[in-house]
Amino acid sequence: MRKTLMGLVVAMGVGVIALLGSSGSADPQRIAVTDLMPTVVIPTEPPTLVPSLEAPDEHPRFDLMKEYVLNAMNSWPHADVHVPTADYDSIASDIATVVLDSREPPIWKDDDSKAKTAIQMAALGYNEGARYAQYVDDGSCDTWMNEAWNHAKKVSIGISEFSGRTITRAEPDLSVLPEDAQKLLAFGDCDGGRARSIFQIHADDFPGGLIIVETDYEEQIHPEHHIDWMNALDYHGDSSFVMAKVHGEDLTNNRQLAVRVALHMARKSIHSGRRLCSYTGETVECPKGEIRRLMAESYSRKHPFVLAIPE
């Protein structure tokens, strides 16, 4: 599930490498989590949303699109039997609702029905979210990892060939967590607790949050319409184009908002000519991005969306 946002990302490495004296103990040493992670201001205000962003009017094709997405989700191998999953019907409903919103253009210009876009979002949630795992969807993953980081320890990883000193790095202590939590985290740890929702979005890598912007790649008058999403602190355009300002907790509390942010990120990545490489935080060679893209492409090709069932 590892994914680092490219381009605009403010790097927040949590693995701290320190040099200790060669006489240092080989046993792990407890250290404060504040020594490991930079200070991030987490706001308490709710996400700033344009009116009715969360609940657009139900689209006339909603039922068909929801069923189409749900069929795709059920066609892919389910999570391990020991990993409870989020409600498939609810996920399909949220994807259909957001994708069919008239304010959201499809990822591909020729995707008139938006069905290909919907399947791409389902494939992203599947691969990023440990096959729609409940512990990822409901935020337990991040809560557990934050607790493990609060009990972080220094672990020796070798001796410096230059100084002869012990090299250490910080690691979260999973032993403080319940056994069930430890077992589930073996299937994915949400990028060390930094990624939110089944779409694994690093919203809190941006101290000011991130924003999503009304998008229209065909419109040439307002440059804001070509942004899709960015670091909120770097946006200096017309504020009326901003659809939402988002922090990590917002994505955990509102899956439709998570779908929407992921859609903006995926659309920007593909429109930039980088397939899904920017979304997955990869470079030219992006096997993770290609798995997600080709999985959706294969399903859409084999199971074309039918607007109406002939009598």
| pLDDT tens digits, one per residue of 285-311 | 899 999 999 999 999 999 999 886 544
Q: Which residues of 78-95 are buried (b: 16+ CB within 10 A; e: fewer)?
A: ebeeebebbeeeebbbbb
pLDDT value for 311: 47
Nearest to 132 by CA among 58, 60, 80: 80
User: What was the pLDDT predicted at 56?
Assistant: 55
Given this model, what pLDDT does residue 49 score? 57
- Give the side-chain half-sphere CA count within 13 A for 34: 1
Q: Write out residues in the chain with pLDDT < 70, as ranges.
A: 1-57, 308-311
Q: What is the pLDDT of residue 29?
A: 38
pTM attached to this predicted model: 0.80
What single letter denotes the amino acid at residue 300?
Answer: S
pLDDT of residue 7: 42
pLDDT given at position 48: 54
At residue 149, the pLDDT reads 97
- H or E element, residue 49: strand 48-49
d(Cα 152, Cα 171) in Å, to the nearest integer? 6
Q: Break the chain into its structural domains and give their ranges.
A: 17-302
